[in-house]
A and B are shown apart, each in its own frame.
Chain A
Amino acid sequence: MVLSVIALVSALGVVLSKNPVTSVLCLIVTFFTIAGHYIMLNAQFLAVVHIIVYAGAIMVLFLYVMMLMNLNAEVEPQKRNWLKYAGAISGGALLVVLVAALRDASMPAVGAEANEIGLIKNLGQLLFTQYVVPFEVSSILFLSAMVGAVVIGKKD
């Protein structure tokens, strides 16, 4: 409960704060609270990997770029009004889609054996037996993203 409140407040901070660095720091806090939720679901492995990958690597690079660019309110170009409206409309549309999807989703009560699902052993067995094809496909996706980044980086 406390965790969810912190998550929501820091998520709002990401969107509302004027300073991009504060925004990134709020996002990091949000990731930590999400990891806390994973721990409460007994998914320790997922929680730690979430922290390593998101808070430890991706957000460090975000912060790195933000600090180097040294953005602040004066430098930022003034946004046009229609951009704000377009943003509000598309955000609202996404909300409607999410609500519609969640309304029809059935949430069966989790059984006792599901408590162990987040532990590393069960997760690994599931990933490499039942879900091996989606797992490999997603790794190919990452590989193609890496190749793309190298191609862009090489092009001077």
Chain B
Amino acid sequence: MTLLSIDWFFILEKILLISAVLVLSLVVAMYSTWGERKVAAWIQDRLGPNRAGPMGLLQPLADGGKLFFKEEIIPTNSNRFLFILGPSIAMLVACMTSAVIPWGDTLTIAGRTVSLQVADVNIGILFIFGVLSVGVYGIMIGGWASNNKYSLLASVRAASQIISYELPMGLALIALLMLTGTLSLKEIVEQQRHDLWNVVYQPLGFFIFLVTAFAETNRAPFDLPEAENELNGGYHLEYSSMKLGFYLFAEYINMFVSSALMATMYFGGYAFPGMDSLGVSPNLLTMLGFLALFVKILVFIFFFMWVRWTIPRFRYDQLMRLGWRVMIPLALANMLITGAIVLARQH
């Protein structure tokens, strides 16, 4: 009889929500590839993809289809199991983070209050941090299992890069936590709804988080693990077909999720100015909030692309020096100042 006492609507609601979030991140990632090429073309004064569909809008579908039908090659000297495990981990981890991001306030459908957040855990930020730190395994395992020296070099680079930049990212988050006093992303957004956005209080923290987010997602100028002119493409050199597609796709999903995170933690999430004085129904307000979050995310994604086509890649020793000698001291100073101010305001 215990089976019947489960709240089936609750499970159905969560399943629907999870599928919606997954589909959303996949579609956004798909169209980010199109957007990236269009932005690149615009910056370099070209036209970009314009053959498939109006404005080349069907290009991602064509690319996806092409990747699925390509021949799948698993190198003879590779470790077969790990070779397949690598891209799977990369994809899984990229999709996991979206679970704790609050996509909007609550909707009321037929008397039930539905929160637009899959899981409001009380350790939201730490959860994301944990998932991020596991994400490096996708690259490391894939690079090692390929049994290729370029791939191995790339995975070694990825490991040290991600560990080095995780530290300043964590320190920047600690400063944010001292300010907000909560680890739950939902509460952080609610605080910003009635107050100024966190970026006003934490400009340096936001900047550090932005830079480290570039490094964690392996985007230019920190895309050393896949530097094509020194490593022939890096960790995914031996990959073909959809396994390569998974690696590339995971990068775009990561970009989407980190944009969503920055929007949530520093730019008010689904809250927008004058939100509570509009006087529209709560459901409409929730949808508007979701749209506001989405616009913020798109702005960040555009910023990611803009930087990629503007700033050249770092040299590896420069990358490490920036991480350890600039970012960590800056983040520590930011944490110290924030702590001092929070303490002073309490007295």
Name the A residues within 8 Å of B144 (CB-CB).
Answer: 21, 63, 67
| Option from A44, A49, A61 in Cβ contact (under 8 Å) with B121 | A44
Instruction: Name A68's closest neighbour in chain B (CB-CB).
Output: B156
Name the B residues within 8 Å of A67 (CB-CB).
Answer: 140, 144, 152, 155-156
Within 8 A of A (CB), among B109-140: 121-123, 126-127, 129-130, 132-134, 136-137, 140
B160 touches A64 (CB 8 A): yes
B137 touches A48 (CB 8 A): no
Name the B residues within 8 Å of A48 (CB-CB).
Answer: 123, 126-127, 129-130
Does residue B174 face the partner (Cβ distance < 8 Å to A)?
no
The count of chain A contact residues (Cβ–Cβ below 8 Å) is 20
Name the residue in B130, B140, B144 with the highest tally of chain A Cβ atoms < 10 Å from its Cβ: B130
Count the A-B residue pairs with Cβ separation under 8 angstroms: how many?
A: 60
Name the A residues within 8 Å of B137 (CB-CB).
Answer: 28, 60, 63
| Residue-wise interface mask of A (56-89) relative to B, using a CB-CB cutoff of 8 A (1 in contact, 0 not) | 1100110110011000000000000000000000
Q: State A7–B200 Cα separation when bound (angstroms).
A: 46
Chain A, interface SS category: helix
A52 touches B126 (CB 8 A): yes
Name the B residues within 8 Å of A140 (CB-CB).
Answer: none
Name the A residues within 8 Å of B121 (CB-CB).
Answer: 44
Does residue B91 face the partner (Cβ distance < 8 Å to A)?
no
Name the A residues within 8 Å of B166 (CB-CB).
Answer: 56-57
| Option from A21, A52, A63 in Cβ contact (under 8 Å) with B159 | A63
A120 touches B122 (CB 8 A): yes
Does residue A14 face the partner (Cβ distance < 8 Å to B)?
no
Q: State A119–B156 Cα separation when bound (angstroms).
A: 35
* Least distance between A153 CB and chain B CB atoms (Å): 13
Known pairs A55-B133, A57-B166; A64 contacts B159 (CB<8 A): yes
| Option from A25, A28, A57 in Cβ contact (under 8 Å) with B163 | A57
Name the A residues within 8 Å of B162 (CB-CB).
Answer: 60
Does residue B183 face the partner (Cβ distance < 8 Å to A)?
yes
Q: State A68–B166 Cα separation when bound (angstroms).
A: 22
| Option from A44, A55, A68 in Cβ contact (under 8 Å) with B123 | A44
Known pairs A64-B160, A120-B183; A49 contacts B134 (CB<8 A): no
Name the B residues within 8 Å of A25 (CB-CB).
Answer: 82, 141
Name the B residues within 8 Å of A68 (CB-CB).
Answer: 156
Name the A residues within 8 Å of B127 (CB-CB).
Answer: 48
| Residue-wise interface mask of A (28-54) relative to B, using a CB-CB cutoff of 8 A (1 in contact, 0 not) | 100000000000000011001101100
Q: State A68–B122 Cα separation when bound (angstroms).
A: 39
Name the A residues within 8 Å of B129 (CB-CB).
Answer: 48, 52
Instruction: Name A63's closest neighbour in chain B (CB-CB).
Output: B140
B156 touches A55 (CB 8 A): no
B133 touches A119 (CB 8 A): no
Instruction: Name A53's closest neighbour in chain B (CB-CB).
Output: B133
Q: State A60–B135 Cα separation when bound (angstroms).
A: 11
* Least distance between A57 CB and chain B CB atoms (Å): 6
* Least distance between A135 CB and chain B CB atoms (Å): 17
Instruction: Name B135's closest neighbour in chain A (CB-CB).
Output: A56
Q: State A63–B86 Cα separation when bound (angstroms).
A: 14
Instruction: Name A49's closest neighbour in chain B (CB-CB).
Output: B126
Q: State A38–B185 Cα separation when bound (angstroms).
A: 22
Q: State A61–B156 Cα separation when bound (angstroms).
A: 9
B163 touches A61 (CB 8 A): yes
Q: State A39–B129 Cα separation when bound (angstroms).
A: 17
Q: State A138–B130 Cα separation when bound (angstroms).
A: 23
24 A-B contacts, Cβ less than 8 Å apart? A25-B82, A25-B141, A44-B123, A45-B126, A48-B123, A48-B126, A48-B130, A51-B130, A51-B133, A51-B134, A52-B126, A52-B129, A56-B134, A56-B136, A60-B133, A60-B140, A60-B159, A61-B159, A63-B137, A64-B156, A64-B159, A64-B160, A67-B144, A119-B122
Known: A25-B141, A55-B134; 8 extra A-B contacts, CB below 8 A, are A45-B123, A48-B127, A52-B133, A56-B130, A56-B132, A57-B133, A60-B140, A63-B159
